[in-house]
Amino acid sequence: MENGGRSRDRAQEPGFFPAAFRALPEGIRLPENPGVIRLPGDASNRSYYRVSGAGAKSLILMVLADADPHRQPAEEITAGEKPRDEIPFLNLQRYLEKLGLPVPRVVYHDLKRGIIYLEDLGDTLLYDLALPAGPRAELSLYHQALELLVELQLRAERRPDPDCLAFHRRFDAGLFEWEFQHFREELLPSGLPEAPELERGFRKLARELAEERGYFCHRDYHSRNLLVQDGGIKIIDFQDALLALRQYDLASLLFDAYVDFTPDLVEELLDYYLSAWEKAGGKPDGREPFRRMFYLAGVQRGLKAAGRFAYIKRVKDNPKFLPFIPGVLRRIRPRFALFPELAGLEKIIDRELKIDK
């Protein structure tokens, strides 16, 4: 839960860790004299700790902001969510593991105490490898991430599960529009003269995105949610999964808010994804219609991310994402011209936000 705009970290309460260690049943070994290191987080309502020492493998301890699964705050607004008796993370982890996808194994959980012990997959994010020299330097890992995305989408299509929460919530037109408007409300001044026309354009594009066929969508598939362990990609932070157009996760990866892709590399990796899709048995797409929706998803996702970063500063008093806003907008602005509904948006951004091209 939130306190003054900030998530409460129950792990700071006296005696929390001894109690959390005692919660483990027989058969699950903790390291001897375990040491606890808090891991860096982003804007999550959860906190993470590495528990390590001699005599056993290290574990990751996830600490929930609230021990009651019915009161777990959603990281993102969703549409069509059905009632649940467990937190989304556990529900989605179980399904993805059943599909044979590389997600962290749940070692033990005790929701009464609000703790989950996870397999330790290390600290190396795809982001850490791609940032210094650029994503082309890690092309084989990006190929693997795209192949993994194809497997995620196709396996979920072939093996839907009514018990999986993702199949009961969907990116509908209202949610897409809310995310578009999130950008306007958080970053543009109120009373903007172009606001009515901009709102109409956002509404039309939101409907267009929502009309696409829905596939299993991670919703945040990018370099900071993909771990690299022993040369392989592992998926984390999947608790907000829902149904959405295939291009959404693809755009999330290739219009990454944190890593800069050249336009040529985006096109090259888009082609790689389409080839991997067909090789895995997916129905071939018309490249141009698919490409158009990919760029629309990229624009929508980028505007939403910029708005979200401003929101996190305003509401959670966390400014760490503000420096990413200019890069996000610079990468998507060349694509505004593809959509007449966004005519004038580039001029508005130049005038109101004064971001260098």
**In sequence order, what DSSP letters do the residues of 126-158 get, joined into one string?**
HHHHHHHH-GGGGHHHHHHHHHHHHHHHHHHHH
Does 6 score more than 60 pLDDT?
A: no
Alpha helices in 134-262 (DSSP H): 139-158, 173-187, 195-210, 247-254
Domain count of the fold of the chain: 2
DSSP class of residue 170?
B
* Residues 6+ away with beta carbon under 8 Å from 111: 64, 67, 68, 69, 86, 87
Q: How confident is the model at residue 70 (pLDDT cuts 50, 70, 90)?
A: low
pLDDT interval class at 13 (50, 70, 90): confident
The domain boundary residue, chosen from 56, 87, 119: 119
Q: Residues 267-286: pLDDT tens digits?
A: 999 999 999 999 999 999 89
264 and 197 in a single domain? The answer is: yes
Looking at the structure, do residues 50 and 157 belong to the same domain, yes or no?
no
Of 119, 153, 186, the residue that ends a domain is 119
Per-residue pLDDT, 3: 37
One domain for residues 151 and 289? yes
Asked if residue 317 and residue 231 are part of one domain, the reply reads yes
Same-domain status, 186 and 287 = yes
Q: Which pLDDT band holds residue 316 (cuts at 50, 70, 90)?
A: confident
| Mean local confidence (pLDDT), 82-96 | 85
pLDDT interval class at 90 (50, 70, 90):
very high
The residue with greater pLDDT, 323 or 74, is: 323
> Do 68 and 161 lie in a common domain?
no
- Give residue 98's domain range: 2-119
- Is 75 in the same domain as 191? no
Domain termination residue (choose one: 68, 85, 119): 119
Most confident region among 7-16, 55-64, 73-82 by mean pLDDT: 55-64
Q: 262, 138 in Cβ contact below 8 A?
A: no
* Predicted confidence (pLDDT) at residue 73 exceeds the cutoff of 60: no
CATH of the domain at 311: 3.90.1200.10
Q: Rounded to whole angstroms, how far apart are CA atoms 341 and 198?
A: 8
| 195-250 pLDDT per residue, tens | 999 999 999 999 999 999 999 999 999 999 999 999 999 999 999 999 999 999 99
| CATH number, position 76 | 3.30.200
pLDDT at 107 over 50: yes
Let me know whether 96 and 182 are in one domain: no
